Amino acid sequence: MEEYIWAHWKTQRSGCLSTQFITLEGDTVNTWLFFERDDHGVWRIRLERKRNLSYYGWRGHRYITTSTYFAYSVSRADEKEFSKGTTVEIADSENLAPGSYVMLFMDREGETIYNLEPGNISN
């Protein structure tokens, strides 16, 4: 998955990636990444999430939340340092194995709006 995201981001190739995560409780988190240009022709990733969650305490009650984010920058960070709370970015030229780094998605202001940690698509 990381290779797909990185390749589409770096080559500015349009595409879509869809994932679904199911929790032990049966809640689902669907995530879609759309690699596209905005209305001004600027390259971005539109990230849409839909969560179908249980309302604990009320049997049979569920609720759905949806959110949309726009990433205008994507970078990779060292996984070990990230787990310690430090972000050490990895150079674009480095070819690393998937699962050995964290992907950071930033908005126009450079704020991290989403991070993809190895083996965790539900975050």
pLDDT digits (tens, 9 = 90+) for 61-78: 777 889 999 999 998 887
pTM for this model (two decimals): 0.79
Bridge partners, residue 52, by sequence: 28, 64
Q: pLDDT grade, residue 109 (50/70/90)?
A: very high
C-alpha distances out from residue 122 to 10, 15, 29, 52, 69, Å: 24, 21, 6, 12, 15
Neighbours of 16 (CB within 10 A): 11
By C-alpha distance, which of 108, 115, 122 is closest to 5?
115
pLDDT score for 63? 77
44 pLDDT more than 80: yes
